[in-house]
């Protein structure tokens, strides 16, 4: 039953909300435009806030629901960690659209809100500070997710939760490797800068 729950968590995370929203509104493949990923940031740059906000909310929900249900139905922390992690993996590598998805940040926010919300608040403050200072969403995301396991450890989370944070951070940083290259080269788009 728990294995089935983990599989279903991946399949939920893999629902390509940004891809579907863009397909319905622009009749195209979002992965051929802008940053070429399916996340809400790319949707915002291409189609604006009105479409990006519901996409972001749906992506957060995809990360939150598996962990929330694992706690409520099974009372199992390790299952919640595993299910929420595979939901983020699903968002990044969705089976429905040939494993080319988003960066996983919004889905991670939902997962962390269910798993360990207190460190998430610190990550949110760091994200807002960095983005407010630099206007680079990618830099804010990378630094915030890097802080997640550190804050979890400092705030007394168990070893499994800290390791979950390390795994999540590694995955999100991996998904941002192109952004890291553009940041170092001075070619990264800033917040509010629309994509072609």
CA-CA-CA-CA torsion sign (168, 169, 170, 171): positive
Is the pTM for the entire model greater than 0.95? no
80 domain residue, yes or no: yes
Rounded CA separation 22/26 (Å): 5
190 domain residue, yes or no: no
191 domain residue, yes or no: no
196 domain residue, yes or no: no
**How far is CA 73 from each of CA 7, 114, 190, rounded to the nearest angstrom?**
16, 14, 42
State both tokens at 96.
């429905």
The total number of structural domains in the chain stands at 1
Q: List the one residue out of 136, 135, 134, 113 whose CA is nearest residue 124.
A: 113
Question: Mean pLDDT for the chain?
Answer: 94
Q: Where are the beta strands (DSSP E) in the chain?
A: none
195 domain residue, yes or no: no
Rounded CA separation 140/72 (Å): 32
Give the model confidence (pLDDT) of 84-93 as tens digits. 999 999 999 9
pLDDT of res. 4: 97
175 domain residue, yes or no: yes
Q: Which domain holds residue 103?
A: 2-185
Contact 67, 118 (CB under 8 A): no
State both tokens at 90.
């699903």
């Amino acid at each position: 039953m728990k294995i089935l729950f983990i599989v279903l968590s991946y399949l939920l995370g893999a629902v390509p909300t940004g891809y579907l929203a863009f397909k319905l509104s622009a009749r195209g493949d979002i992965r051929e435009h802008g940053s070429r990923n399916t996340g809400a940031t790319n949707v915002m740059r291409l189609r604006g806030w009105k479409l990006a906000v519901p996409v972001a909310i749906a992506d957060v929900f995809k990360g939150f629901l598996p962990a929330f249900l694992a706690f409520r139905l099974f009372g199992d922390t390790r299952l919640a960690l595993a299910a929420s992690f595979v939901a983020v993996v699903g968002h990044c590598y969705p089976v429905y659209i040939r494993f080319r998805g988003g960066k996983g940040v919004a889905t991670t926010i939902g997962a962390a809100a269910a798993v360990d919300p207190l460190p998430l608040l610190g990550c949110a403050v760091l994200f807002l500070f960095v983005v407010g200072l630099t206007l680079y969403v990618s830099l804010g995301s990378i630094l915030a997710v890097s802080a997640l396991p550190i804050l979890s450890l400092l705030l007394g989370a168990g070893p499994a939760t800290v390791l979950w944070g390390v795994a999540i951070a590694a995955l999100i940083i991996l998904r941002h490797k192109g952004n890291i290259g553009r940041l170092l080269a001075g070619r990264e788009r800033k917040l509010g800068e629309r994509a072609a």
